[in-house]
């Protein structure tokens, strides 16, 4: 297995569904960080068969809302002195602001300048989100 | 400060109270003729409308207030590219309350977030039309003496018909409601209303294609027009526009106390011969629309008769 150095201090985003690491990389704007960031794709996972992992060699503020929306099963480990000092649990966010965009051409978001694209969770079981303006369901 | 953006912005108790005031206005119009002296209503209509705009203006004038505004987007700063947020911030300096009609869904909600005056949604795209719903509820209560325990048939364009969406949302809160949804397949009620409003509240419903088959079971028949302006493709409009036409012949199958409502304007979906039927309630609905808008303006401006 490919060996990536373990972190002394930083964040590990683990149990990412295989193939989603780069999406998360850009959504979390990790490309804008100056620190070392490792993206591991298709790592072996006893739970999922394959998974992606992202390791960030610094303590940065992560948008947990975005991660929870993509997959609430993702785990986040905070590492200090080479040890896990905190595990963050993700939940499906009740509200998403400027994470996804409304595609309804009849929605005010299609013409209004500088309007936030806001979605509310409408169905916890089916992970359905609706635009707060037009109520159209988000179709990924 | 309160706004009316969504039909559920008011509780059932608030709606009952509002309808009580509207009924009192209908009986004692003169007692309300000065309650809004010195107040101004702005009517911001980015989309053509005859009855809703005139109904709002008539309501405010009947309360002693005055009105200002525009009737098409072309005659507003929207034509110059002004945002809804900026328009409402400006209008907040000119008026005490505003009614907004906009072709884009969610525009009145956007306005309410930047407004210093109460905003009333006077119809946003194919989304909601809560003041029409107030007129509908007043008419239903007047005809049936109740808002629960009713079988409501909604017929025509149930997909883009914003009055239909608002009415379903509002009636879903009352006990003993059943919906019969009568439309061609292409114009069925949007999925989110079925899943979250109707099924979400365990309301019995059926979706059917034939008005004749179900008309005898209805307490209320709510007819709607197939709206040309909601179609991107004219061919689809022409194919569907004559899907349902209510005639005197079909009315023979209906209950003797069924009420026929329509948000108007109609094109040909209710034959003129039905106007003479005592069950036709759509012109009373228009009159009720003025009374409920008067009651609504008073409620949002927090004014009462002297």
Evaluate whether B212 touches B253 at the Cβ level (below 8 Å): yes
- Residue A117 counted as domain residue: yes
Same domain, A70 and A15: yes
The domain total for chain A is 2
Among the partner-chain residues A104, A114, A123, the one whose CB lies closest to the CB of B105 is: A104
Same domain, A56 and A110: no
> In angstroms, what CA-CA distances link A102 with A26, A98, A119, B162, B188?
19, 10, 8, 19, 22
Same domain, A32 and A84: yes
User: If residue B17 lies in a helix (H) or strand (E), which one and from where to where?
Assistant: helix B12-27
Same domain, A70 and A18: yes
Round to whole Å and give the CA distance between A84 and A7: 10
Q: Residues of chain A with pLDDT > 90: what percent?
A: 63
- Residue A48 counted as domain residue: yes
Q: For position B48, what pLDDT does the model report?
A: 85
Round to whole Å and give the CA distance between B97 and B156: 33
Residues in chain A closer than 8 A to B106 (CB atoms): 107-109, 131-134
- Residue A140 counted as domain residue: no
Q: For position A137, what pLDDT does the model report?
A: 92
Q: For position B33, what pLDDT does the model report?
A: 96
Same domain, A47 and A75: yes
Instruction: Write down the mean pLDDT value for chain A.
Output: 90
Same domain, A58 and A127: no
Same domain, A19 and A83: yes
- Residue A83 counted as domain residue: yes
Same domain, A14 and A81: yes
Structure tokens at B201: 């509240």
Q: Where are the domains of chain B?
A: 7-128+286-301, 130-285
Among the partner-chain residues B102, B110, B195, the one whose CB lies closest to the CB of A115 is: B110
Round to whole Å and give the CA distance between B139 and B143: 6
Round to whole Å and give the CA distance between B62 and B56: 10
CATH code linked to domain B7-128+286-301? 3.40.50.1370
Report chain B's C-alpha Rg in angstroms. Answer: 19
Same domain, A15 and A65: yes
Topology agreement, domain B7-128+286-301 and domain B130-285: yes
Same domain, A42 and A19: yes
> In angstroms, what CA-CA distances link A68 with A72, A89, B204, B249?
4, 9, 35, 58
Same domain, A26 and A62: yes
pLDDT one-digit tens code per residue, A61-94? 888 778 888 888 899 999 999 899 999 888 889 9
Round to whole Å and give the CA distance between B69 and B86: 15
Is the Cβ pair B107, A108 closer than 8 Å?
Answer: yes
- The two beta strands, A75-80 and A10-17, are antiparallel
Q: For position B229, what pLDDT does the model report?
A: 66
Q: For position A27, what pLDDT does the model report?
A: 86
Q: For position B191, what pLDDT does the model report?
A: 85
- Residue A4 counted as domain residue: no
Same domain, A51 and A103: no
Report chain A's C-alpha Rg in angstroms. Answer: 17
Residues 58 to 77 of B: which have CB under 8 A from any A CB?
Answer: none
Q: For position A41, what pLDDT does the model report?
A: 93
CATH code linked to domain B130-285? 3.40.50.1370
Determine contact: A137 vs chain B, CB below 8 A.
yes
CATH number of the domain to which A71 belongs: 3.30.70.140
**Min distance B83 CA to chain A CA atoms (Å):** 6
DSSP state of B277: S
Determine contact: B199 vs chain A, CB below 8 A.
no
Structure tokens at B45: 């209509």
Give me the active site residues of B, please.
Answer: 51-52, 80, 101, 129
Domain that holds residue A55: 10-88
Evaluate whether B248 touches B180 at the Cβ level (below 8 Å): no
Q: For position B303, what pLDDT does the model report?
A: 95
Q: For position A3, what pLDDT does the model report?
A: 57
Residue A103 has pLDDT above 90, yes or no: yes
Going residue by residue through chain B, which has 306 residues, state the pLDDT in tens, using 9 for 90 and above. Answer: 999 999 999 999 999 999 999 999 999 999 999 999 999 999 999 988 888 999 999 999 999 999 999 888 776 666 667 899 999 999 999 999 999 999 999 999 999 999 999 999 999 998 999 999 999 999 999 999 999 999 999 999 999 888 999 999 999 999 999 999 999 888 899 888 998 899 999 999 999 999 999 999 999 999 998 876 666 677 777 776 777 899 999 999 999 999 999 999 888 899 999 999 999 999 999 999 999 999 999 999 999 887
- φ, ψ (nearest 5 deg) of residue A84: -75, 115
ipTM value, please give it.
Answer: 0.87
Residue A1 has pLDDT above 60, yes or no: no
Round to whole Å and give the CA distance between A115 and A7: 40
Structure tokens at A59: 């303590």
pLDDT bin (cut points 50, 70, 90) of residue A123 is confident
Round to whole Å and give the CA distance between B293 and B287: 10
Is the Cβ pair A109, B106 closer than 8 Å?
Answer: yes
Among the partner-chain residues A108, A113, A114, the one whose CB lies closest to the CB of B105 is: A108
């Amino acid at each position: 297995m490919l060996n990536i150095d373990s972190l002394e201090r930083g964040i590990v985003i683990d149990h990412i569904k295989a193939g989603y690491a780069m999406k998360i990389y850009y959504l979390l704007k990790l490309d804008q960080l100056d620190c070392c960031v490792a993206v591991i794709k298709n790592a072996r996972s006893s739970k999922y068969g394959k998974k992606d992992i992202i390791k960030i060699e610094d303590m940065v503020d992560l948008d947990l809302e975005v991660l929870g929306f993509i997959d609430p099963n993702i785990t986040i480990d905070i590492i200090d002195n080479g040890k896990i000092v905190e595990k963050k649990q993700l939940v499906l966010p009740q509200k998403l602001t400027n994470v996804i965009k409304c595609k309804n051409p009849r929605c005010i978001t299609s013409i209004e300048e500088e309007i936030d694209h806001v979605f509310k969770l409408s169905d916890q079981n089916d992970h359905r989100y609706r635009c707060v303006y037009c109520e159209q369901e988000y179709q990924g | 400060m309160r706004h009316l953006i969504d039909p559920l912005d008011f509780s059932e108790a608030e709606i009952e109270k509002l309808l009580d005031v509207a009924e009192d206005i209908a009986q004692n119009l003169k007692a309300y003729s000065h309650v809004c002296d010195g107040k101004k209503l702005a009517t911001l209509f980015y989309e053509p409308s005859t009855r809703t705009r005139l109904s709002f203006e008539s309501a405010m004038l009947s309360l002693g207030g005055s009105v200002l505004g525009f009737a098409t987007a072309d005659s507003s700063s929207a034509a110059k590219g002004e945002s809804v947020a900026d328009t409402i911030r400006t209008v907040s300096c000119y008026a005490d309350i505003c009614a907004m009609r906009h072709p884009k869904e969610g525009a009145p909600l956007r306005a309410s977030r930047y407004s210093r005056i109460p905003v009333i949604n006077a119809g946003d795209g194919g989304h909601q039309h809560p003041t029409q719903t107030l007129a509908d509820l007043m008419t239903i209560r007047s005809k049936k003496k109740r808002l629960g325990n009713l079988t409501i048939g909604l017929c025509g364009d149930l997909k883009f018909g914003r009055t239909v969406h608002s009415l379903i949302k509002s009636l879903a809160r009352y006990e003993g409601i059943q919906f019969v949804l009568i439309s061609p397949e292409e114009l069925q009620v949007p999925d989110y209303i079925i899943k979250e409003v109707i099924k979400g509240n365990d309301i019995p419903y059926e979706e059917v294609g034939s008005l004749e088959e179900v008309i005898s079971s209805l307490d209320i028949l709510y007819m709607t027009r197939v709206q040309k302006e909601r179609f991107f493709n004219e061919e689809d409009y022409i194919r569907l526009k004559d899907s349902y036409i209510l005639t005197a012949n079909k009315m023979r199958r209906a209950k003797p106390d069924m009420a026929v409502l329509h948000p108007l304007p109609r094109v040909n979906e209710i034959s003129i011969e039905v106007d003479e039927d005592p069950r036709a309630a759509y012109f009373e609905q228009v009159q009720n629309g003025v009374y409920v808008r008067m009651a609504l303006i008073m409620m949002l401006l927090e004014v009462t008769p002297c």
